[in-house]
Copies of this chain bind each other. A is one copy, B any other.
Amino acid sequence: MSLKELETPAALIDQSRMVRNIERMQQHLTRLGVTFRPHVKTSKCVQVWKAQADAGASGITVSTLQEAEQFFAAGETDILYAVSIIPSKLERALALRRKGCDLKLIVDNVESAEAVAGFGRAHGETFEVWIEIDTDGHRSGIQPEDALLLSVGRALHENGVRLGGVMTHAGSSYELNTPEALAAMAEQERAGCVRAAQRLRDAGLPCETVSVGSTPTALAAQRLDGVTEVRAGVYVFFDLVMHNVGVCKIDDIALSVLTTVIGHQIDKGWVIVDAGWMAMSRDRGTSKQSCDYGYGQVCALDGTVMTGYQMIGANQEHGIVALAQEACADAAGQCDIAERFPIGTKLRILPNHACATGAQYPVYQAQNADGEITGWPRSYGW
């Protein structure tokens, strides 16, 4: 299958860029002396995970038990489920462990810690649980100095649960856009998580693993003393949000949406394409960043960026491509769009957010350096 034969819309992976992104992250973290546990929520794709594992990754992070089941079936046993566990999900977690999956859970409160302990006792299973630490205030977790940390640690350790470590995710790094701010956030994430680990150890509790990470902080980190592993997900494809954050170049973005021109509104300078928000996702992550890319940056079929052309609007299965009013860089002048983009023209749209865009597709179309395309299935649901 070649690019021209593909039906549209399609989610295209540029394998060369993907492998480059994987090597960059792996080499950076190896240099910093930590292991790397990629977050597979971005791709939910076994072939992508295999490339990460081949490059040296150690275990995976998942955002759903469905991912854990999928990747365990594909051969991965070292899995961190990085959403605070609740009692109603323990049966499924137990089933995975009983099959031989070394599934780790997380909690950030005493109720959940006690629930895991009670359930484990009732079923004769020693669960491994890590404590989620809040190092940037953006979501879940316990602050490193909070008394709650030791209460949760004890509720686990003293009740038959293996307290395996601490983990944190400084997701607010997505809101930054200078190397200095990113490096500072990486240090804040590291220091907070290491401090939490130290407090547990000082209280006589075990804390083997210290796990940190987000794509921006992982790449910005200059030292990771006290950290044992890093997690990151979107780095594997990158996207326009990450470009605005400053951690990739436009031509590092390995995921694009292939689309076909289906019509024009010539007076308005609009090209209508067959990729709408169903194909791009509704993610408008660049709308509050330094450069707003609408629903995506338009490229020619060969990947050449068409400066100034964006998907400025999207209905379910229709996208509107046009010169952006406030193009981020110098744009060519208005032209006859029907002449420049005839019906049937294929374009590639770089997405705002690779995790959200990928999620719209049952299968990726992965193109290798020779231009050959292979379908790589991805999962969805819970």
Nearest CB of chain B from residue A111's CB, rounded to whole Å: 4
Q: Are A109 and B8 in contact (CB under 8 A)?
A: no
Cα–Cα, bound, A306→B88 (Å) = 24
CA A368 to CA B315, docked complex, whole Å? 31
Is A150 among interface residues, defined by CB-CB distance under 8 A? no
User: Is the CB–CB distance between B109 and A263 below 8 Å?
Assistant: yes
Residues on the B chain within 8 Å of A283, using CB: 277, 282
Query: Beta-carbon contacts of A349-382 to B below 8 Å, as 1s and 0s?
Result: 0000101100111110000000000000000111
Copies in the complex: 2
Q: Is the CB of B381 within 8 A of A362?
A: yes
A side interface size, CB within 8 A = 61
Give 12 new A-B contacts, CB below 8 A, not counting A8-B88, A86-B344, A140-B263. A7-B88, A63-B316, A63-B317, A83-B274, A86-B274, A88-B344, A109-B343, A139-B272, A139-B318, A279-B382, A281-B281, A360-B380
> A residues near B, CB below 8 A?
7-10, 41, 63-64, 83-89, 92, 108-109, 111-112, 115, 134, 137, 139-140, 171, 260-265, 268, 272, 274, 277-279, 281-284, 313, 315-318, 320, 342-344, 353, 355-356, 359-363, 380-382
Give the 5 A-B residue pairs with the shortest CB-CB distance, closest first: A282-B282, A362-B381, A282-B283, A63-B317, A111-B343
